[in-house]
């Protein structure tokens, strides 16, 4: 099953590679991994999308907790949460496609943030699944570049991950 | 406060940590450190002949005492040579601090002479590691290193120090304690869980205690012994846990696992409540996990590392905590409740166990003119009155030492259980000999393993370490040969060693005493000569043993615990 794991870790050199190394060393799967400092620059917040049986996910959280640089680990997908991912999509936009692409971007609540005579860059923020369906909707031959950040997630309401 | 160089700070930190010995090898990147070592006499440096042995020797010191072992190596090849030692310590959770030199900060990333990414290379085989980037961080980093190495589930910590940091100056201040927001190991177990565990144990019809290296690392054998005696339950110690419960006691069933006893393995398999303490359900212990879990039983698991619990086998009552603390709680609850296990039910279980024990699975046949390796270990046990610190390498000799030397106390049996590193025996013995100068030290090895760190005979001479090397020489890589005989149609691919050195002459060349023993009737006399007549010398006894001897019982890899091959079956 797909899980979204949030991690607070010390914002130190090498901390990210400890997390990434753990996943490869123990054969855990990483779908996406995002990381950036928090409002407290000594801390980084990491979001990992992974999948596995309950036993594997339990081991992943335990092994993450075991890393000395890791302060807190939470499985966001255990309860109500929000996930978002940012995508930048460069598409070939000529002739009648220009109008069609604009319309599709509007339907998905995306923005066109760069326009040339022959291309658009569409910015879209949504859940990973929604980004997937946007890509599917567009004629594959028109896609020039796809850039995705990977999933960021946060718990709903009073569910707070803090030191 | 006076200004000190980084090198002086490192040495001062080690002094503050009451480090008595460090094992190391000098080189360009650590010259400042060696200069600072030279100017003091509190810490003694042991010059090994290969960095791998420096780490193993520090590891041997740590295993045989309750102290953190310290090794010092230079950058590049110094650090890479140390990696096997570090990984060995990591797999067995041994507290070590390894200080490695690094090229100067401004050279890092330039492919400088003797540069390697030590922090990157060691990352997967350390509990934690540091690259020091400012001399002002040095003292607190070393404090953290010692704290992390020796708390929670122990393990090796590498501190990589660029050369310029050891030359830079700052004020020295060593923190007395350290707080880390990201690292707070649990000590006390959850009382509710402990109560549940005690209840399960008291209700058990076929209880079994299964304990591992965690009991020794946490110094919990006293509490374990009290608990086992109080309950009257059968107990087994894993390879890493031998000595945590006295091996000559009636309740002790021997070692479990691939080369465990019939009684230990069958009791593990058929018990209805299994109390696992500081053990990790290793593949060499429980065999096939699917087979193991196909039999219904309740499992209680005490471990300081939550990730050890329910990793290979689902556990019913997990208890995260320090073993002696949790066992004390259990004993307190037992005292308070005044409840006792049902004696009649327990007697039935013991009756069953005694039937298994009556098989005498460890019996072996003596041969007339050939020395049986098991016999050498039995005699070693007698001659040393069971009181020696025994180190081993990896292979058949390791299993025979574990099976036939009855360890009565913890920290007397040092071997590489997790990584299975050939070559550890002699350096372990060096570390143990330095830390326990009044003890008898025996290194049980084979002609394959001993050659993996043979150069340390030179170190042992320099530091006059009276180690007795018990070389079980069967001219084969015995465990490989055994598997080839059993599972590869006796095709002995590269397991025969031709052109072995004359070990007696080799020992003598290094300035030691060498003895060769070829007949069973000479075994005891040779051991006596080594341990009594040459008490203060390193003695290398080359026992020419039976080439065909195999280790039994044996559970083949991937099989269930009850599926044992016994010597008598063949």
**pLDDT digit string, tens, across residues B400-444:** 999 999 999 999 999 999 999 999 999 999 999 999 999 999 999
Does residue B271 have a pLDDT over 80?
A: yes
Which of B124, B183, B314 is nearest residue A68 as measured by Cβ atoms?
B183
CA distance B457 to B425: 12
Q: Do A163 and B127 touch (CB under 8 A)?
A: no
**Rounded to whole angstroms, how far apart are CA atoms A116 and B66?**
71
Whether the model clears a pTM of 0.90, i.e. scores above it, the answer is yes
Question: For B156-182, what is the mean pLDDT?
Answer: 96
Best B305, B307, B309, B310 member to test A by mutation, with max A CBs in 10 Å, is B307
Percent of chain B with pLDDT over 70: 99
Cβ neighbours for B84, distance < 8 A, ≥ 6 positions apart = B52, B55, B419, B421, B423
Per-residue pLDDT at B361 exceeds 70: yes
Report the pLDDT value the prediction gives residue A55, as an integer from 0 to 100. 94
pLDDT (0 to 100) of residue B364: 94
In the block, residue with structure tokens 């949790």: B326
ipTM: 0.93
pLDDT at B139: 98
From chain B, the residues in CB contact with A10 under 8 A are: 182
B114 is catalytic: yes
Q: Using 50, 70 and 90 to split pLDDT, how confident is the model at B120? A: very high
The answer for residues whose C-beta is within 8 angstroms of residue B277's C-beta and 6 or more apart is: B209, B210, B211, B212, B214, B215, B220, B224, B301, B302, B303, B323, B327
**B438: alpha, beta or left? (left if phi > 0; alpha if psi -120 to 50):** alpha
pLDDT of residue B568 exceeding 80: no
Q: Does the pLDDT of residue A115 top 80, yes or no? A: yes
| A123 φ, ψ (degrees, to nearest 5) | -105, 130
- B485's CB contacts (< 8 A; 6+ apart) are B492, B550
> Any idea which residue has 């604009």 for tokens?
A102
Shortest alpha-carbon distance between residue B502 and chain A (Å): 42
Q: Are A104 and A138 in contact (CB under 8 A)?
A: yes
Query: Which among A21, A68, A163 has CB closest to B148?
Result: A68
Residue B163 is among the residues annotated as catalytic for this protein: yes
Give the residue from chain B lying closest to A62, CA to CA.
Answer: B307
Is pLDDT above 80 for A116?
A: yes
For residue range B202-255, what is the model confidence (pLDDT) as tens digits? Answer: 999 999 999 999 999 999 999 999 999 999 999 999 999 999 999 999 999 999
Tens digit of each residue's pLDDT (9 = 90 or more) over B506-515: 999 999 999 9
A9 neighbourhood in chain B, CB within 8 Å: 182
Alpha-carbon B411 to chain mean position: 9
For B:273-312, CB contacts with A below 8 A are 305-307, 310-311
Q: In the predicted model, what is the mean pLDDT of chain A?
A: 96
CA angle B544, B547, B549 (to 5 degrees): 110
Q: Which of B119, B182, B311 sits opposite A70 (nearest CB)?
A: B182
Across the range B314-342, mean pLDDT stands at 95
Interface residues from chain A to B (CB-CB < 8 Å): 9-10, 13-14, 17-18, 21, 25, 55, 58-59, 62-63, 65-66, 68-71, 163
E-strand ranges in B55-189 read: 69-73, 96-102, 128-131, 156-162, 169-171
Selection from B499, B461, B463, B492 nearest residue B478 by Cα: B492
Q: CA torsion, points A6, A7, A13, A16, in degrees to nearest 10?
A: -50
pLDDT at B338: 81
Residues A120, B448: Cα–Cα separation, whole Å: 68
- What one-character DSSP code corresponds to residue B252? B
Q: Residue B339: its pLDDT value, please?
A: 85
Instruction: Please give the pLDDT value at position B570.
Output: 61
Nearest to A35 by CA among A74, A6, A70: A6
Q: What is the pLDDT of residue A43?
A: 97
* Residue among A66, A70, A163 with most chain B CBs within 10 A, to mutate: A66
How far is Cα B76 from Cα B115, in angstroms, rounded to an integer?
A: 5
**Range B349-363 average pLDDT:** 96
Residues of chain B contacting A66 with CB distance shorter than 8 Å = 305-307
The verdict on a CB contact (< 8 Å) between B307 and A13 is: no
How far is B59 from B430, CA to CA, in rounded Å? 10
CA distance B131 to B123: 11
Mean pLDDT of chain B: 97
Mean pLDDT of the B87-104 span = 98
Report the 10 Å Cβ neighbour count for B536. Answer: 9
Q: Residue A146: how many CB atoms within 10 A of its CB?
A: 12
b vs e for B218-257, b when ≥16 Cβ sit within 10 Å of the residue's Cβ?
A: bebbebbbebbeebebbbbbbbbbbbbbbbeeebbbbbbb
Mutate to test the interface with B, among A18, A22, A62 (most CBs of B within 10 A): A62
Q: What is the DSSP string of B47-83?
A: E-SSHHHHHHHHHHHHHHSSS-EEEEE-STHHHHHHH
Q: Which long-range contacts (CB under 8 A, 24 or more apart) does B498-505 make?
A: B500/B447, B500/B473, B500/B475, B501/B451, B503/B447, B503/B450, B503/B471, B503/B473, B503/B540, B503/B542, B504/B540, B504/B542
- What phi and psi, each to the nearest 5 degrees, are found at residue B126? -130, 160
Compute the average pLDDT of residues B17-29.
98
pLDDT at B569 over 80: no
Please report, rounded to a whole number, the percentage of residues in chain A having pLDDT higher than 70: 100
Phi-psi sector, B309: left (phi>0), alpha (psi -120 to 50), beta: beta
Catalytic residue, from B479, B484, B540, B564: name it.
B479
Looking at B128-132, B141-145, B288-292, which range is the least confident one?
Answer: B288-292
Question: Contact A18/B120, CB-based, under 8 Å?
Answer: no
């Amino acid at each position: 099953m797909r899980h979204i794991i949030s991690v607070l870790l010390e914002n130190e050199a090498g901390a990210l590679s400890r997390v990434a190394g753990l996943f490869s060393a123990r054969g855990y799967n990483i779908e996406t991994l995002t990381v950036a400092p928090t409002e407290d620059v000594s801390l980084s917040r990491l979001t990992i999308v992974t999948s596995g049986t309950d036993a594997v996910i339990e081991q992943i959280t335990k092994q993450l907790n075991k890393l000395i640089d890791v302060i807190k680990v939470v499985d966001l997908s255990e309860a109500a949460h929000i996930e978002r991912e940012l995508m930048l999509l460069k598409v070939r936009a000529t002739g009648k496609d220009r109008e069609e692409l604009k319309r599709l971007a509007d339907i998905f609540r995306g923005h066109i943030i760069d326009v040339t005579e022959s291309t658009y860059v569409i910015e879209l923020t949504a859940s990973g699944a929604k980004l997937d369906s946007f890509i599917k909707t567009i004629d594959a031959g028109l896609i020039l570049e796809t850039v995705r950040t990977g999933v960021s997630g946060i718990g709903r309401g009073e569910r707070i991950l803090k030191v | 406060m006076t200004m000190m160089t980084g090198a002086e700070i490192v040495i001062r930190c080690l002094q503050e940590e009451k480090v008595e010995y460090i094992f190391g090898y000098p080189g360009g990147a650590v010259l400042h450190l060696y200069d600072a070592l030279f100017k003091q006499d509190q810490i003694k440096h042991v010059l090994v002949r290969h960095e791998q042995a420096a780490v193993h020797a520090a590891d041997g010191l740590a295993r045989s005492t309750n102290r953190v072992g310290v090794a010092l190596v230079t950058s590049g090849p110094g650090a890479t040579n140390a990696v096997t030692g570090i990984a060995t310590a990591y797999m067995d959770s041994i507290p070590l601090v390894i200080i490695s030199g690094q090229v100067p900060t401004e050279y890092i990333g330039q492919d400088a002479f003797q540069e390697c990414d030590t922090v990157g290379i060691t990352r997967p085989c350390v509990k934690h590691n540091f690259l020091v980037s400012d001399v002002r961080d040095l003292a607190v980093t070393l404090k953290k290193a010692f704290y992390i190495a020796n708390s929670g589930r122990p393990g090796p910590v590498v501190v990589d120090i660029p050369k310029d940091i050891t030359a830079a100056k700052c004020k020295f201040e060593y923190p007395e304690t350290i707080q880390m927001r990201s690292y707070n190991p649990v000590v006390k177990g959850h009382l509710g869980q402990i109560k549940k565990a005690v209840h399960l144990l008291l209700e058990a019809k076929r209880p079994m205690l299964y304990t591992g290296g965690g009991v020794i690392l946490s110094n919990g054998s006293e509490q374990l012994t009290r608990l086992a005696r109080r309950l009257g339950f059968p107990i087994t110690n894993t390879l890493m846990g031998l000595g945590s419960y006295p091996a000559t006691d009636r309740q002790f069933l021997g070692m479990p696992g691939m080369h465990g006893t019939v009684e230990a393995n069958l009791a593990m398999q058929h018990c209805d409540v299994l109390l696992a303490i500081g053990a990790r359900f290793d593949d060499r212990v429980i065999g096939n996990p699917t087979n193991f879990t196909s039999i219904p039983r309740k499992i209680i698991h005490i471990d300081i590392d939550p990730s050890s619990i329910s990793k290979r086998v689902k556990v019913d009552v997990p208890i995260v905590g320090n073993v002696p603390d949790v066992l004390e709680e259990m004993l307190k609850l037992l005292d308070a409740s005044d409840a006792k296990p049902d004696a009649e039910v327990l007697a039935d279980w013991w009756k069953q166990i005694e039937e298994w024990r009556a098989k005498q699975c460890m019996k072996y046949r003596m041969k007339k003119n050939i020395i049986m390796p098991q016999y050498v270990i039995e005699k070693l046990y007698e001659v040393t009155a069971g009181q020696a610190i025994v180190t081993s390498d990896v292979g058949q000799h390791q299993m025979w030492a574990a099976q036939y030397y009855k360890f009565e106390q913890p920290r007397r049996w040092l071997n590489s259980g997790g990584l299975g590193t050939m070559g550890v025996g002699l350096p372990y013995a060096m570390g143990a000999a330095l830390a326990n100068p009044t003890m008898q030290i025996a290194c049980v090895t084979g002609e394959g393993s001993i050659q993996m760190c043979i150069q340390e005979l030179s170190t042992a001479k320099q530091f006059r370490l009276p180690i007795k090397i018990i070389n079980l020489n069967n001219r084969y890589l015995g465990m490989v040969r055994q598997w080839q005989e059993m599972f590869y149609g006796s095709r002995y691919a590269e397991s025969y060693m031709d052109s072995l050195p004359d070990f007696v002459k080799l020992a003598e060349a290094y300035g030691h005493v060498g003895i060769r023993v070829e007949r069973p009737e000479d075994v005891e006399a040779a051991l006596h000569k080594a341990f009594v007549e040459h008490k203060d010398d390193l003695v290398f006894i080359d026992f020419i043993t039976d080439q065909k001897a195999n280790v039994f019982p044996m559970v083949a890899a991937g099989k269930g615990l009850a599926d044992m091959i016994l010597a008598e079956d063949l």
